Amino acid sequence: MSDAAIDSIILGDNQFFGVNHMSQDKGQETYEKFKDVSEIRKTLYYALDNGVKGVMFSTHPAIYQITDMMRADPVLKKELGVYVNVPYIVKYVSMVTEMGVYKTVKAMLRGQTFPQRVKYFMTSGYNVMTQDYLGITHRLIDVELIPFRGLAIKAIFLHNCLCDLILGYDMTMIIKSFDGYIRKRYDTIPAYGTLNYPLFCRLLEKAGIENALVMAAVNKKGFLMNPSREACEEAMKKYSHTVLAMATLASGSIKPREAYEYIGALGTVRHVVVGLSSKGHAEETFRILHDKLKI
């Protein structure tokens, strides 16, 4: 994988869904603002106006509202590359609890034709009967990606919750299977999230995967950088993977200039995912990013 294939700045989606790892109140504030999909559309245009052409989405229950809006907008559909983070685990727990398994699957297959739904159930049933658990995983990925049909998917990330679970159980076969399936089925970049970059790099090494795209926390405070900031910095020097830096502002506890001065000084990180809450915030953030990271 070439670094050039990945956008240097990718717009994150936490603010759209009210996610804030430091403050529930701040998360609720942004959630209220972005309940109106027109506000999300404005933010996507702020990003485009500043030369940012990548956006990351998790498969939150509200994602159809956003992707429907993007498909209906010729500019957004053409200009924005989409980075998908699968699965949104909380969604499944909530939906199954509220709706039951059958209605959950039916809701996730929204937008599919009747023959496509039949094919999905038949294939999934075969996977279950033959105990093909990797095949079941592939079917779940297929369902997760349905909302993004017709959009330009640039990479598909396996969520850090699953990656770190796989890491804990040393399941190299699942990583290999995911990597191969995404390349073959979707002809795009398989990518990974982790909250322990050094150990996950060792897992990729055992799986024989080189030059991967890995999203990990990178910030001056060491927030979500396990086992330590120093260990992560050393691993970024050691391994040849492309790091997509997340949590760069440590959930708003670091100012943009300080945050990106630190990342720029590392010399190993050329790609960041950032959240935006307003036009003024966008302009400040992108200006500093271009200045400090030279991107």
Separation of alpha carbons 163 and 56, rounded Å:
17
The count of domains in the chain is 1
How far is Cα 181 from Cα 260, in angstroms, rounded to an integer? 35
CA atoms within 13 A on the CB side of 29: 7
pLDDT at 144: 86
Q: What is the mean pLDDT of residues 22-50?
A: 72
pLDDT (average), residues 178-194: 96
Average pLDDT along the chain: 82
- Pair 18, 28: CB distance under 8 Å: yes
294, burial (CB in 10 Å: exposed 0-12, middle 13-18, buried 19+): exposed
* H/E stretch holding 35: none
Check residues 33 and 199 and name the one with the higher pLDDT.
199
Measured between alpha carbons, how far is 82 from 157 in angstroms, rounded to an integer? 11
Return the closest-CA partner of residue 273 out of 249, 241, 240. 249
- Asked if residue 11 lies in contact with residue 54, where contact means CB atoms within 8 angstroms, the answer is yes
- Model confidence at 243, pLDDT cuts 50, 70, 90, reads very high
**254-278: average pLDDT:** 91
pLDDT tens track for 201-212: 999 999 999 999
Q: Which of 96-100, 224-228, 247-251 has the lowest mean pLDDT?
A: 96-100
CATH of the domain at 251: 3.20.20.100
Find the domain containing 226 and state its range.
Answer: 3-293
Can you give the pLDDT at residue 130?
41
